[in-house]
Structure 1
């Protein structure tokens, strides 16, 4: 494996981890810097397409709407497999996201098992997410136990 490929793989792992960290910290405006301006983000639940968002302006609005409903995020990234081809790459990321929101005065914990299928591009020396398809594989919600 070439040094250039190893560097790209490391930088791409950092990119997906930065995405998760900024989500957990609710830093949505900063998170938009990880995407190309024309980024496409799709969400699937149970194999059904539920949302397609194009462009960071629309994506930021959508994420901000969601973040305002959430008390706390906690994300763990697992496997990250990438195929690098020059200044483009494709990747698969598996993540576990826990979310706490309040419903009728009760804290609800939702646990999401997610697979991301990504397309990355390197622009001006930095890797960015150009396309991200989020597949919610398993979702479990329950009242949070103190």
Structure 2
């Protein structure tokens, strides 16, 4: 039998709060709530986008919460999006934590009769911090594993 770690109630609550944070990010993206999405990050956050996860240098880097607005507003180019968060692994260390979350991000574009779906397979590598009993993203690396583009039939 594998070793099973018994979690304290505080650890369970922290893990649940972090998972809520991860899901809130996706919900805000899909509802185009850029301000709500930005509020999930610390003021001095580091947010990096790697359009190819094999690259060592990011394609885009943001060093504070306010500069996230154009990244999140960019979702408005799509008719609709739907992010599906999958498995995640969270490692707690007091008021900080690290985590990896898998996500399929669906992006729909409709131009006249032309419908296209772009699906990005994403891994998020996160650092979290708990401030005044609330968890925030301190650092988020968005790494795209692959992208699939396909036309949709009506």
- Which TM-score tier does this pair reach, normalised by the shorter chain? over 0.9
Note the C-alpha offset of 1:45.
2.2
Aligned to 1:33: 39
TM-score (norm 1): 0.93
Q: Is residue 126 of structure 1 aligned with residue 134 of structure 2?
A: yes
CA separation in 2, counterparts of 1:145 and 1:110? 14
Residues 19-76 of structure 1, C-alpha deviations (whole Å, 9 max, x = no match): 1111111111111111001111111122232111121111112221x12211101011
Which segments of 5 or more consecutive residues in structure 1 lack a partner in the other structure? none
CA separation in 1, counterparts of 2:131 and 2:114? 45
Note the C-alpha offset of 1:102.
4.0
Q: Which residue of 104, 108, 115 corresponds with 2:116?
A: 108
CA-atom RMSD, angstroms?
1.4
Moved more, 133-142 or 46-55: 46-55
Which segments of 5 or more consecutive residues in structure 2 lack a partner in the other structure? 1-6
Which secondary structure does the structure 2 equivalent of 1:7 belong to? Answer: helix
Which secondary structure does the structure 1 equivalent of 2:153 belong to? Answer: coil
Aligned to 2:68: 59
- The aligned length equals 145
Aligned to 1:7: 13
Larger Rg: 2
CA separation in 1, counterparts of 2:134 and 2:121? 28
CA separation in 2, counterparts of 1:115 and 1:103? 29
Higher strand share: 1
TM-score (norm 2): 0.89
CA separation in 1, counterparts of 2:45 and 2:76? 22
Contact 2:29 2:72 in 1 (8 A): no
Note the C-alpha offset of 1:143.
1.5
CA separation in 2, counterparts of 1:81 and 1:106? 39
